[in-house]
Structures are given as C-alpha cells and as structure tokens.
Amino acid sequence: MNARVRLGRDGEDAAAAYLASLGLLIVGRNVRGPAGEIDIVAREGKTIVFVEVKARRSHRFGSALGAVDARKRKRLRAAAADYLQFVAPCATARFDVLTIDGAVMRLYRGAFA
C-alpha cells in the first residue's frame, strides 16, 4: 500500500473514531454508488450525515479543506442523492467535511447544502 493510500485510510479511521466520540452513529464507510463514493455515512438523531474526509501531511499541495472544491461537492451531492433515494428517501441530510492537516483535526458541520 502506498503512502497516499495509507494516509487516506488512517485519516478515515481517525475521522470515524472522532465522529463516534461526538455521538454520531457510523452507518457506512466508503459507500459506493453509481455517482461515486462517500467516505463516511453517519446518523445524528434523524439526520443522515455525509462526511468527506480530507487528510494532508503538509500544505505543499494546498489545505485539506481547499481540496473539497466545487467539482468534488457536485459529485458528493450526486452520490448522496443516490444513497438517499435507495436507503432513506424521507431523511434529512447534511454534508460535513472533516479535515486533518498534519496533527490538527477539524469538523465543518453543514459545510455545503
């Protein structure tokens, strides 16, 4: 496994543990559908939370939050719409971004609609 894949997997493991510590129920990881993949699907009360995880060791290629650009948000919205259509058509949904920049983890709740 290359270093980039390991960083992503370790970041998602840390993110899932952090979200669970906040009381979110993790219902899926690396959920794949016709429109793409969602890193983490969680439930907070009655809300389905779609979480994009971005990890960076340094800012050499930009910040982790900056990597969730308009194209990425469009794909996540489409993947979430597929998930909701088949799994929870009447659920309320929210998009969160969890960034890991070096050793700093930050959760952006409701990062985009």
| Closest among 18, 95, 9 to 55, alpha carbons compared | 9
- The domain in which residue 99 lies consists of 3-112
Which helix (H) or strand (E) segment holds residue 43: the answer is: strand 36-44
Tally of domains within the chain? 1
The 10s digit of each residue's pLDDT in 37-54 is: 999 999 999 999 999 999
pTM above 0.85, yes or no: yes
The 10s digit of each residue's pLDDT in 66-89 is: 889 999 999 999 999 999 998 988
Q: Which CATH number fits the domain that encloses residue 52? A: 3.40.1350.10
